[in-house]
């Protein structure tokens, strides 16, 4: 059976991630935690184990910490399962795309830590606290939500940010415009319209300045061609060369995540079984609504058994 590996992004983090692992897995975890701590300047393992949750959920902290956890799980799985059967393709949701590129050998783990820490800082600085917002719209067709965003935007930004699964579309932009879109969505028959507990309106035009600053950093970074195809959020397509990867990462920050299309593209590529390589099972839940015929395995559960 052909395997694909998908990496979750921001929102999958929690205090106590990666507890209950086997002794050999703990050794890998502690080694990577120490490497990340040295690079980031704070105790990653202590933060994950003890919190506080307020610090863990700060965008500039969450991003490198979640990258670290995803990488630990990738190394565990590689050691346990990949000697004979490597995955045929990889993808990651938003921040998770960086984990996929590390797994594919395109980025070193250290460079990725630096990059996502900077990414988180740039995103946090791009929009003042309280100015932006994100909301999940459930139970409406994508084209209806797109039309609502156009109708209510006025002179502000509100647009699709994450095409997560059929009937689940996250929007982002100015808080007041997001609120108008939520009200209109409810009037149009949405099952739910829920503000997300985030401080940064990701994947919309408000991230344009952060995207440009990230591009300047990426231009100075050495990257290798991916050894395993990585399907990117911006268009659900892989890139063969580093320059194309750079462009996709820059575009991703200010453009929507096409997750539904990405999962379908991976399935068409030949992936029959999806392993979620990260804490929790958010992507497994979404995936079961996108490709019902595929097998879905929350990766943390697999390595903890």
pLDDT, one tens digit per residue, over 132-148 is 999 999 999 999 999 99
Do residues 115 and 143 share a domain?
Answer: no
Is the CA virtual torsion 85, 86, 90, 92 positive or negative? positive
Band (19; pLDDT cuts 50, 70, 90): confident
Q: How far apart are CA 280 and CA 278, in angstroms?
A: 7
Q: How many CB atoms lie within 10 A of CB 291?
A: 20
Q: Is the pLDDT of residue 231 over 70?
A: yes
pLDDT at 304 over 60: no
Last residue of a domain, one of 168, 199, 230: 199
Q: Report the share of the chain in percent with pLDDT over 70.
A: 98
For the record, the structure tokens of 273 come out as 């079984």
For 21-150, where are the E strands, in sequence order? 89-92, 132-138
Indicate the Cα dihedral angle 267, 74, 227, 62, nearest 10°. 90
Q: Which residues, in sequence order, are CB contacts of 42 under 8 Å at separation 6+?
A: 61
Do 117 and 77 share a structural domain?
yes
pLDDT at 156: 98
* 213 and 113 housed in the same domain: yes
User: Domain span at residue 163?
Assistant: 132-199
Per-residue pLDDT, averaged over 160-170, amounts to: 97
Last residue of a domain, one of 180, 199, 218: 199
Going by their DSSP bridges, the two strands 3-7 and 89-92 should be labelled as parallel
Q: State which of 199, 225, 242 marks the end of a domain.
A: 199
Strand ordering across the sheet containing 3-7: 230-231, 89-92, 3-7, 273-276, 295-298
Rounded CA separation 164/168 (Å): 6
Q: Residue 133, Cβ neighbours under 10 Å: how many?
A: 24
What tens digit of pLDDT does each residue of 96-107 get?
999 999 999 999
For residues 175 and 261, what is the distance between their CA atoms, to the nearest angstrom?
A: 27
pTM assigned to the model: 0.95
Can you give the CATH number for the domain in which 23 is found? 3.40.366.10
Q: What total of structural domains would you count in the chain?
A: 2
Residue 23 has pLDDT above 90, yes or no: no
169 and 292 share one domain: no
Tell me: cis bond preceding 288? Omega within 30 of 0 counts.
no
Question: Does one domain contain both 236 and 121?
Answer: yes
Query: Does 120 share its domain with 183?
Result: no
Active-site residue set: 94, 203
Are 220 and 282 within one domain?
yes
Distance CA 286, CA 172 (A): 19
Q: Is 232 in the same domain as 111?
A: yes
pLDDT, position 300 = 58
């Amino acid at each position: 059976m052909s395997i694909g590996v998908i990496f979750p992004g921001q929102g999958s983090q929690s205090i106590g991630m990666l507890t209950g692992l086997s002794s050999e897995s703990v050794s890998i975890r502690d080694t990577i935690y120490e490497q990340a701590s040295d690079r980031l300047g704070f105790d990653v393992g202590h933060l994950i184990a003890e919190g506080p949750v307020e610090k863990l959920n700060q965008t500039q902290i969450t991003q490198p910490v979640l990258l670290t956890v995803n990488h630990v799980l990738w190394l565990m799985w590689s050691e346990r399962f990949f000697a004979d059967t490597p995955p045929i393709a990889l993808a990651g949701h938003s921040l998770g795309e960086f984990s996929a590129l590390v797994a594919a050998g395109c980025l070193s783990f250290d460079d990725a830590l630096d990059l996502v820490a900077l990414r988180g800082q740039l995103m946090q600085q791009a929009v003042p606290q309280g100015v932006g917002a994100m909301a999940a719209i459930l139970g409406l067709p994508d084209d209806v939500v797109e039309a609502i965003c156009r109708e209510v935007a006025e002179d502000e930004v509100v647009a699709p940010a994450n095409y997560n699964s059929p009937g689940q579309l996250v929007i982002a932009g100015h808080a007041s415009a997001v609120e108008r879109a939520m009200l209109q969505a409810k009037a149009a028959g949405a099952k739910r319209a829920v503000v997300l507990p985030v401080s940064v309106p990701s994947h919309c035009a408000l991230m344009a300045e952060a995207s440009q600053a990230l591009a300047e950093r990426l231009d100075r970074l050495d990257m290798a061609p991916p050894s395993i195809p990585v399907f990117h959020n911006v268009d659900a397509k892989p890139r063969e060369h580093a320059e194309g990867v750079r462009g996709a990462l820059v575009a991703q920050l200010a453009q929507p995540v096409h997750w539904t299309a990405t999962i379908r593209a991976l399935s068409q590529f030949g992936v029959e079984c999806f392993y979620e390589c990260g804490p929790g099972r958010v992507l497994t839940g979404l995936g079961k609504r996108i490709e019902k015929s595929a097998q879905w395995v929350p990766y943390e559960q697999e390595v903890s058994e």
